[in-house]
Each structure stands twice: as C-alpha cells, then as structure tokens.
Structure 1
C-alpha cells in the first residue's frame, strides 16, 4: 500500500510540474514513472510456480508488474500501439529467445517454469520500451529520464540522511519489509537503503543514475543541475557503506568523464591507456590504503565477507563443472542445488548459501547458461562498450552511448561480488539503457 500511495503522490507532483511548463507535454511522465517505479518493484502475484527453492534471481512468480501496468494504461492515450519485430532492430531480444529455448529444452533444467518467469519478466519490459520508442521523441525520453532521476536523487539522499546518519530506522522498511533487516546487514554494519531493500541495490542504482548525470554534464545538458545531483548522489552512495560500490563508482565515473572529455578517443591506444589507467589505479590505491575510507576496506568485516563469497563461488564453480556447456537453466540454479543437495552439502554449509543466489552475476550466467551463454554475455558487454565509444567519437548523440558505458561498467564490476544487478529492482534499468541507447544513438537532442 505504501508503494501505491507513493507512486500516486509522485505522479501528482510531476503532473503539477508539467502543467506549469509552457508546452504542457505529459508524455515524458511515462518515462519518469518507469524510472521511479523500478526500485519499488510494484507487482501483483498472478501465479507461483511450485518449487523447493527461490530458484534464481527473479523468483518463481508470474506478476502483473509495473511495465505491463504502465503499458496497458498508456494504450488509452497513445495512437501507435503496434508491436513489430525484425532481426536487424531486435538482435538482443532474439538472443534472449534463443538462450531461453536452449534452457527450456535443457534436460538438466529442474524448473522450466522459472525460466518462463524470466522470459515473461524480460519481455514485459521490452513491450513497454517499444511503446515508448514508437510514441515519444528522443527529447521527450530525455526529459522523462532526467525528471525521474532528479526526483529519486533528492528522495534517496533525504532517506540516507534519516538512516544511517540520524539513525531513524523506521524509514528503512517503508517500501520493503526486508529493508529493516538488510539496512544493518544482519547487525554487522549499517547502510542506507533508500526505497530499496538492500544497501547494495541502492548503491548500484545510484551509480547507474550518476553516470547518466555525468553524461549530461559532458554533453552540456543541464550542467549545473547535473553537478548538484551528482554531489548528492555521491553522498547517498557513501552512506550505503558498500565497499565494492565505492571502487566501482570511481571506475565508472572516471571512465565516462575521460571518454566524454576526449573526443576521437582511441580506446586501445597505448598513450590513452596510460593516461587513463595510471591515474585511475593511483586513485583506487589511495582510496583503499591511504584515504580516510581505508578502515572500511582493511579493518572491518571485509575478510568475513570475502570468505562467505568464496564459499558461494566454490559452490558455483562445482555446479559449472557438472554441466559446463549449456548450464542448468536460466533462473533455476538454486532449484538444481535444492534437488541435488548431496552433490554440494555434507551438512556443513549454512542454508544461506543454497537459499540465496550466487553472489556473482557472471558466475550465475556461467552456471545457468553454461559456456554458450557466458560467451554471448562477454561478447555483448564488449560490443556495447566498443560501439558506444565509437558513437561518442561520431559525436551525433553522445548522451546515451556515454550512459551505456557507465551503466555497463557499473553493472559488470559490481556483479563480481553480488547478484543485485540481476534483481528485479536493478535489471530493468539496465535493460532500459541498452535498449534506448541502441535506438537513439543517432538522434540529436
């Protein structure tokens, strides 16, 4: 109920803002609502697949979710409603379909219903994205993104001050019941959760939206406002006390700024690599070993967290060695473990490690889709960065290619130690960025 009340208030606030604008264009409101709704994960259960585990990162439940709610609502107002498909413009969707078919016919897939949940989840978002791209201009999409990110930045910063800075813990479970638990990481150390359920999710979302703001700055779009929101986002991220996020944030922001400030930049030039890599490494070394933050990295519970992840990674690698080619099925690795427990557990592994997804998204992809899916993933990441960098050099529309670089780096690096990038509160934003970046890379704002 809190989520619905909140989204209605946001809708009214943005609608009032638009009525005071000269053009009174309400179309960007759809994009703003999407950006703000992603962390809330507003959904209504339709059908739950019977399982012995949470199965994967996207659960085992078919939901009437936010993108479908927004899609069917928007049909009342938009003229263009057709859903077309062709290979040239939908290579990502086709790759997902092919990998899903392989997973569904995979004899080692212990819960094909969970794989169908993945397909349903992904394409519910693509349907909405198609509606947006057919009915909104590049400038309208930009306005919607900026308004949504700006509003969320202010709200998240305010909530981060409330907790952990002022220790008003009541704000941590307003939107997610688990927020109160994960805001203290089971009592080990506190961290801001904002409107998310975990500090890591808030940190990653903040990184991804900050790279958008920095991309705006590099493109000369709302430069002063963007700097302001970057500063408050930095404060929010700091209050999550997420070590991985600190380092990932530095790498992502540094990369976006360096590429955005160096037109005709050759990614593989030795000179540019030295200009880029050496300062970045020096900054990272200073942050870890010599800055006021060094205690967080060296004297806190970092060893215990590394040991815990090592158990998870070892379990994942063992699972990969059993089925290396095509894995055990998308969104179903926990079900395989639950039904083959004797292969992994002699009674000494705590239940946490087989009831929660493996804390490494690349290892999850390797386990669930095998070498085939993992190769597709790595190629896709590399091509996204290379193509985005080329688009920046072309100079037609730097904003979305730059944002793609920042988001892919954030997603990839943070995913080395957690599964938050593949969660329902983060994955939709990643899909949004890579979808619209490919569609709008030649559009001029």
Structure 2
C-alpha cells in the first residue's frame, strides 16, 4: 500500500508540473524519464507469466512481469516516429540478444524460463530507452535523468535520517516488507535502506547517482544543486554502514576527478601509478587500519563475510567447470546450483549460501555465460571506459561519458563482493546510462 500511495503522490506531482509547464509553454517530456527513474527502486510489477515447474531465477527472479517500464513504453507508443526508431542501433544490444539465444539452447541451462525472464527484462528496457531517445533530444534526456535522480537522492536522505538516526523503523517497510530485516542485516547492525530492500542496494545507488552528480558539477551543469546532492549523498552513504561502498566511493570520485582533469593521459601509466593509484591505496589503507573507523572494518563480522565470499568463489569455480565455454544460462545460475546441490553441500550447508545469488557479479557472468561471455563482459567494460575517456579528451558528450566511467568503475568494484548491480532495482540505472552514453556517442560520431 505504501508503494501505491507513493506512486500516486509522484503521479500527482508530475501531472501538476506537466500542467504548469504547459501553461508557461515549456517542454514537459523530460518528466517521463524523471518518473521512470523515481519508480525504479519501488519494483512495482505484476507477475503475468511463470514457469510450469518451480524455479529460483537468478538476480532478476523467476517471473515475467508487467512493470513500470512496460507500461510506460505502451503509453509512449503513439508519440514514436517509427521511421527513426532503431531498437538495434547499439551493437552491444545485438550481442546480449545473441548470447541470450545461445543460453536458451544451451543443454546445461536447466531453467530456460529464467533466461526468458532476463531477455524480456532487457528488451523492454531497451525499447523504452529507444522510445525516450525517439521523442526527446539530448538536453531533455539529461534533464530528465537529473530531475529524477535529484528527487530520489533527497528522498533517500530523508529516509536515512528517519532510520537509523531516529530509529523510526516503520519507514524501512513502506516500500519493501523485507527491508525491515535487511535494515538490521539480520540483527547484526543497523543501516539505512531508503526506498530499497537492503543497505547495500541503497549504497550502490548512491555510488551511481554520485558519479553522475560529480560529472554534472565538474562540467558546470547545475553545479550548486549537484554539489548539494553530493553532500547529502555522502551522509546517506555513511548511514548505510556499507564498508565496501565507503572504499568504492572514495576511489571512484577520486578517479572521476583525475580523469576529468587529465582526459588525455593513460590512467595506468607508470607516472599515474604514483600520482593516482598509490595515493588512493594509501588513503584506503589509512581508513581501514589507522583511522577512527578501523574498528568498524576489522573488529566486526568481517571474517564471517570473507569466509562466505570464499565459499561463493569455490562454488562458482565448481559450476564453471561444468560448462566452461557457454555457462549455464542467463539468470539461471541459482537453478543450476539447485539441480547440482552437491556443489553447495561440498562447501557448506549454510542456507544463506543456497538462498542467495553468488555475491560477485563477475563470477555470476562467468558461471552463467561461460568464458566467452565473460571475455565479452570485460571487453565491454574496458571499451566503454576507453571510448568515454576519448570523448572527454575530444570535448564530446562529456557529461554522460564521465558519468559512465564512474558508474562502470563503481559497479565493477562493488560487484566484486555483491550481486546488487544485477538486481531489478539497480540494473535499470546501469542500462539507462550505458544506453544513452553510447547512443549520443554514435550520434556525435556521424
């Protein structure tokens, strides 16, 4: 009920803004993107298709759903210029679809429906983004992203103050029932969840949003507002008590700033190892071992978490050996592990291991799409960082290019210890930035 009331309030606000913009003869189309972005964490959807047999699904779950993305695409259909609609314009969209088809015919895929869930989720979001691109220009799209993220960040900050600062625990279950448990990490320690179901997801969202607002600030796009959001985002992040996110936050923002100031330099040159990498490493060592936060990093449940990750690594390696070339299918690794329970039992009988996805997005891809897909994934990350850095050096598409560099670094680093980057409430943020960054890069290249 809380989610529906919130969506109703957002709809009312956006409609009021629409009326006002119409009254003063200003464009309102950016409100579409703003509304979509605000709704991503809510995970509002209706299950319409499920498998005939019980399946687990991977990071995206086991159901095909009518979601905000699908509803918005249908509503935008009448406004689309179909002559300019190029759904498969981006080559990487081809690659993902081809890899999905391979996953569907892969004999090691024991839950092809789980792969269909992924394929549907991916295609409906790409269709929506292309629809946005079709009916809006670049400035409207960026304005919509800015508008949606700034509202989301303010809401997350307010909720983070309510819990854990004022211990108003009721705010944790307004949007997700399971968030009340996630907010205490099963009784281990409190942490802000905002509109998400776990502090880790909120922390990752803050990393993504802060990469964008850092880019906005450096590129003098709504600089005062961007700096303000960076300040409150830092407070929100602290209140998540996500140790991994703290380290990634410092590293990512430092690298974003350095790349912006030195776009033509090779980040991994011998000179930059001493100017950038070693200073960052020194800061992180100080934070972990010598700062007032060292007890937080070293004297809590860090050993248990490290042990859990090692178990996941072992299970991933064993699953990878079963199908090293093509993997076990997109969004299907949990189903594969369920059908090969000995891989889990040989490591541990801990239910946390069997009931959750592998806590490493890179290993998830290695298991699900094999060595071929994993190599394509690494190439995709490096290629987009390289191309974005080139765009910065040539003064093209600077705002989105710098944002994408930060977001790729954030999800790559954070994804080493968690699966949140591939969750339903986070993956759309990654997809929308990647899609429009490449779309505008190609536009400026022509």
TM-score, normalising length: structure 2: 0.95
1:117 corresponds to which residue? 117
1:277-316 to 2 correspondence within 5 Å? 277-316=277-316
The offset of 1:65, in angstroms, is 1.0
* Pairing partner for 2:27 from 25, 32, 44: 25
Query: What SS does structure 1 have at the residue aligned with 2:47?
Result: strand
Q: Deviations over 1:23-69 (max 9, x none)?
A: 43210001101111111111111011244442211111010011111
2:57 corresponds to which residue? 55
For the residues of structure 1 that align with 2:35 and 2:91, how far apart are their CA atoms? 27
Q: Deviations over 1:408-427 (max 9, x none)?
A: 01111111000001100001
2:388 corresponds to which residue? 388
For the residues of structure 1 that align with 2:376 and 2:331, how far apart are their CA atoms? 17
For the residues of structure 1 that align with 2:19 and 2:428, how far apart are their CA atoms? 29
2:141 corresponds to which residue? 141
Contact 1:115/1:331, CA 8 A, preserved across alignment: yes
1:216 corresponds to which residue? 216
Contact 1:15/1:26, CA 8 A, preserved across alignment: no
The offset of 1:266, in angstroms, is 3.2
Q: Deviations over 1:299-354 (max 9, x none)?
A: 11111111122212211111112221111111111111111223441595122212
Q: Unaligned stretches of 5+ in structure 1?
A: none
For the residues of structure 2 that align with 1:347 and 1:284, how far apart are their CA atoms? 32
Cα gap change, 1:86/1:343 in structure 2, threshold over 3 Å: closer, same or farther?
closer
Cα gap change, 1:362/1:79 in structure 2, threshold over 3 Å: closer, same or farther?
closer
Contact 1:398/1:441, CA 8 A, preserved across alignment: no
The offset of 1:264, in angstroms, is 2.8
Cα gap change, 1:110/1:14 in structure 2, threshold over 3 Å: closer, same or farther?
same
For the residues of structure 1 that align with 2:84 and 2:64, how far apart are their CA atoms? 22
Contact 1:83/1:127, CA 8 A, preserved across alignment: no
For the residues of structure 2 that align with 1:404 and 1:23, how far apart are their CA atoms? 33
Query: What SS does structure 1 have at the residue aligned with 2:345?
Result: coil
Cα gap change, 1:154/1:344 in structure 2, threshold over 3 Å: closer, same or farther?
closer
Query: What SS does structure 2 have at the residue aligned with 1:285?
Result: helix
For the residues of structure 2 that align with 1:290 and 1:50, how far apart are their CA atoms? 55
Larger mean Cα displacement after TM superposition, 305-314 or 109-118: 305-314
Contact 1:207/1:410, CA 8 A, preserved across alignment: yes
Verify: 1:353 aligned to 2:343, yes or no: no
Contact 1:35/1:149, CA 8 A, preserved across alignment: yes
1:376 corresponds to which residue? 376
- Judging by fraction of residues, say which structure has more helix: 2
Contact 1:32/1:144, CA 8 A, preserved across alignment: yes
* Pairing partner for 1:66 from 58, 68, 72: 68
2:317 corresponds to which residue? 317
**Cα RMSD (Å) of the superposition?**
1.8
For the residues of structure 1 that align with 2:10 and 2:429, how far apart are their CA atoms? 19
TM-score, normalising length: structure 1: 0.95
The offset of 1:93, in angstroms, is 0.9
Query: What SS does structure 1 have at the residue aligned with 2:328?
Result: coil
1:178-217 to 2 correspondence within 5 Å? 178-217=178-217
The offset of 1:358, in angstroms, is 0.6
2:81 corresponds to which residue? 80
Contact 1:160/1:236, CA 8 A, preserved across alignment: yes
For the residues of structure 2 that align with 1:299 and 1:133, how far apart are their CA atoms? 49
